[in-house]
Chain A
């Protein structure tokens, strides 16, 4: 049976698409057949982050409306055998994701994949509700910053009330906190909420800390999920998050400032 994971946050720009791309790629790297779906109708971007924007022919809405079959819309990743991208449409009709259509497509995907990652749009409107509806797990992407933490709290409340699991009174969606754009140095100086602070406020177990890193922009510039960059600290952090998601114990890296050697400190290199 497939596992459905929604990547959500409430707030925009915190790293949902970056996280969706990295988690999906990480799961596929470990041999799990994975599809990552863009639920942000009208503002398609997952294709760019995954580097397959020129291969989009059919999209989610085409499949829902019966204009294309699922296999025609799924884009097979060129780097990884087990990885597929399901792009969304650029239509301006935000309500194009009709409940019955999405249900049908999700059932088809469940039969074919081990992991289904749903990249949610920002906000708490129709698109975000549709993205979280089918979830078994939720990765709450949060920046250590007041508005992001507040919005995460809001989306946690919505998960508990509006998901299919909540509707059917099944076991609740399993929540995971992923703290992104984390800067251990600023935390130590008392300028940024710490991982313990955010964990305490939201009371959601931590899946990972993704350090603020220039390599994330480089990755999206080139359409390469950051987890594929062996030199990227953010990539290593995502690798840890994937391992933890699969049940491995991993020490929480990047929570404390790195001890820099004398020469590196002198050169001021991060």
Chain B
């Protein structure tokens, strides 16, 4: 049986390979395309707001746009120093 497979290998049709490759690359490209245009600006604005109240470094905020099933999820992580002191407002 193995010698039969060796002599007549069953190859995946090239069209199937094409479809799989396209689905992979397009899933990646679409994710990168969907709206991260505003993320850097949002990050900047959020940082300014946080700084009104506490001292925070430039990289204190991380903004990510993810997806779960049908909804988009905006994930914002703010990292503050342990003894974050409130500014006198």
A189 to B16, CA, bound (A): 11
Q: Is B13 part of the binding interface, using a Cβ–Cβ cutoff of 8 Å?
A: yes
Please name the residue on chain A nearest to B26 by beta carbon.
A153
- Are the C-beta atoms of A146 and B13 separated by less than 8 Å? no
- Count how many chain B residues have C-beta atoms less than 8 Å from C-beta atoms of the other chain: 14
A154 to B30, CA, bound (A): 9
A111 to B19, CA, bound (A): 44
Interface string of B14-43 (1 = CB under 8 A from A): 111011011101100110010000000000
Known: A190-B16, A191-B14, A194-B15. A146 touches B21 (CB 8 A): yes
| Chain A interface size, under 10 / 10 to 19 / 20 to 34 / 35 or more | 10 to 19
- Are the C-beta atoms of B26 and A190 separated by less than 8 Å? no
Which chain A residues lie closer than 8 Å to B22 at the CB level? 146, 149-150, 201
Q: Is A157 part of the binding interface, using a Cβ–Cβ cutoff of 8 Å?
A: yes
Of the candidates A146, A149, A157, A187, which one forms a contact with B33 in the assembled complex, judged by CB atoms under 8 Å apart?
A157
Interface string of A106-131 (1 = CB under 8 A from B): 00000000000000000000000000
Query: Which of chain A's residues 165-206 have a Cβ closer than 8 Å to chain B?
Result: 187, 189-194, 197, 201
- Are the C-beta atoms of A201 and B15 separated by less than 8 Å? no
Known: A150-B25, A201-B23. A193 touches B30 (CB 8 A): no
Which chain A residues lie closer than 8 Å to B33 at the CB level? 157
Of the candidates A145, A150, A153, A191, which one forms a contact with B13 in the assembled complex, judged by CB atoms under 8 Å apart?
A191
Which chain B residues lie closer than 8 Å to A191 at the CB level? 13-15
Which chain A residues lie closer than 8 Å to B29 at the CB level? 150, 153-154
Q: Which residues of B contact A (CB under 8 A)?
A: 13-16, 18-19, 21-23, 25-26, 29-30, 33
- Sort A-B residue pairs by CB-CB distance and give the 4 closest, nearest first: A190-B13, A197-B19, A190-B15, A146-B18
What are 30 residue pairs bridging A and B, where the CB atoms are less than 8 Å apart in the complex? A145-B18, A146-B18, A146-B21, A146-B22, A149-B22, A150-B22, A150-B25, A150-B26, A150-B29, A153-B26, A153-B30, A154-B29, A157-B30, A157-B33, A187-B15, A190-B13, A190-B14, A190-B15, A190-B16, A191-B13, A191-B14, A192-B15, A193-B15, A193-B18, A193-B19, A194-B15, A197-B15, A197-B18, A201-B23, A201-B26
